[in-house]
Amino acid sequence: MDDRVLITGGAGFIGSHLATELLDHGYTVRVADTLNPQVHGSDVDRPPYLHRDVELLRADVTDADAMADALDGVDHVVHFAAMVGVGQSMYEIRRYTHVNTVGTAVLLEALAQRPVRRLVVASSMSIYGEGLYHDAQGRPHARVERSVERLRAGAWDPVSDSGETLESRPTHEDVPANLTSVYALTKYDQERLCLMVGRAYGIPTVALRLFNVYGPHQALSNPYTGVLAIFAARLLNDKPPLIFEDGLQRRDFVSVYDVARAARLALESEEVDQGVFNVGSGTSVTIREVADRLARVLGKDIEPVLTGQHRVGDIRHCYADIARAQDRLGFSPRVPFDAGLEQLAAWLVDQVADDQVDQARDELSTRGLTL
């Protein structure tokens, strides 16, 4: 296969795994990445885990000339470039909006001049906010909100407008957006802009709403990355993981290997011209369980600390209904959570993490972003 794929943000955690997946299936891969020091450290010219056959361009997605050059000779684009982190997005508002929203607009203007055969964009489960809930009568409730008063009182679970108890359900793609953080808003911008411009210029476009992705090569020293990487950084430094609320909030953790395969399937699924798909495991686990199980596989006898605080922008429960991706993309997750944790632990053995969680927590507290 001679198809060339450009992955924006492709030197990062998920993008690097996708690059390997595509190379293994006969694609030629070019990566455009700024090598953000928050993710890669201050003196990295090329991440050691990035496959040697990847062409790496150090390029900023907000630079129009750089994006035009990156698209030269490209058949497909996977747009992963983004600032990632709910908490940080609530005070670095301009930076997140500039990189995620404006950067996507710059890329799309370049694509309008040089359309490709397919565009895949990484969206996020964060756009759902609180996921889907049902009441005792089985009626669905979407766009559920948790009041500040209830959160201050430690009443973590959402209730209906009439105060009725609600039960979480798998969230499907037709649940309306409910944006609770600047990060979520910018990911929604990325998704909608790509689908809109793709349709206008005849570029088949697929948006993948990624749930909680984990696995080797996560940025352990970035305190705003995925929760498993944050917990790992704490445990590797013999410190307890810090858990907001009561630790019973539920998430869907999906292996990066499954996500890379889903992105490849999205590139190859010619039956899908435009579409949005959840990419998750289809199961859920509590954050407390995650901390306990990670400590166990790392051989650390360290109990997590429940802070009893709420971080502004966080949600209670959200996990994926993946039926649409199974039916239309042929995607089914292959890596069970326990097996994925073992893969992560095997990689962590040789890693050193600069734990910056306390500083990040202090930053949020100083700005009034914890309750």
Q: Is the CB of residue 128 less than 8 Å from the CB of residue 210? A: no
Task: Let me know if 188 is a catalytic residue.
Answer: no
State which amino acid sits at residue 63. D
Residues in the chain, total: 371
> Within a 10 A sphere around the Cβ of 145, how many other Cβ atoms?
13
CA atoms of 170 and 87, how far apart (whole Å): 24
CA atoms of 254 and 337, how far apart (whole Å): 7
The phi, psi pair for 289, rounded to 5°, reads -60, -40
**Local structure of residue 98 (DSSP, 8 states):** I
Catalytic-labelled residue, pool 183, 214, 257, 319: 183
94 Cα distance to chain centroid: 20
Distance between start and end Cα atoms, the chain: 53
Q: Per DSSP, what are the bridge partners of residue 250?
A: 286, 317
Token pair belonging to 155: 């009443």
**Local structure of residue 204 (DSSP, 8 states):** -
CA atoms of 62 and 338, how far apart (whole Å): 39
Sequence-separated (6 or more) residues with CB below 8 Å from residue 228: 212, 214, 218, 253, 290, 294, 344
CA atoms of 167 and 307, how far apart (whole Å): 24
- Concatenate the DSSP letters of all residues of 300-358 into one string: -----EE----BTT--SEE-B--HHIIIII-------HHHHHHHHHHHHTT------HH
CA atoms of 75 and 203, how far apart (whole Å): 11
Q: Is the CB of residue 208 less than 8 Å from the CB of residue 123? A: yes
Q: How far is CA 37 from CA 41, 44, 96, 105, 256, in A?
A: 4, 8, 15, 23, 22
Catalytically active residues are 183
